[in-house]
Amino acid sequence: MSERLDFAEFYRAAKDECLFTVLVSVGDRDLAQELVAEAFARAWASWRTVSGHPAPRAWVVRTALNANVSRWRRRRREVPMPDLDTDRTAGMLGIAPGTVQAHLGRAIAALRDDLMPERQQESRS
């Protein structure tokens, strides 16, 4: 019984701050409430462990944000991503096709530099 009381006290003291922190991160009040509720449910289920954590509020916030990432990943797998050619991409972004190509060229060059740093050194010598 005392563990439930301790959790109840923790919940009353931490719920608003945790909700606000998650809300700032996700930008949607309904989603933030859902994520924080899920995180507090997980905290309650693991209260013996969470109550010994050095920062239980941070544990709740991190758990809520992790749940959001998991939700986003699941959704991403479920929603097919359209293949856009240069002209369609330019139309969607409201920019010229040449600008899309220039951005793509810079992005590919940056990826090459990050993924193959030895190639970057060779080109400088």
Q: Is 82 helix (H, G, I), strand (E, B) or coil?
A: coil
Exposure string for 19-31, b = 16+ CB within 10 A, e = fewer: bebbbeebeeeee
- What domains sit in the chain, N to C, each tagged with a CATH number? 2-78 (1.10.1740), 86-124 (no CATH)
Residue 54 has pLDDT above 70, yes or no: yes
The pTM for the full model equals: 0.59
> What confidence tier does 57 reach under pLDDT thresholds 50, 70, 90?
very high
Question: In which residue are the tokens 């945790």 written?
Answer: 18
Task: Note whether 94 and 83 are within 8 A (CB).
Answer: no
Give percent of the chain with pLDDT exceeding 90.
55
pLDDT digit string (tens) for 65-110?
A: 999 999 888 887 766 667 878 888 888 888 898 998 998 888 888 8
Which range (18-22, 56-60, 88-92, 117-121) has the least confidence? 117-121
- In this predicted structure, the answer to whether residue 2 has a pLDDT above a threshold of 50 is no
Distance CA 37, CA 18 (A): 10
Mean pLDDT of 42-56: 94
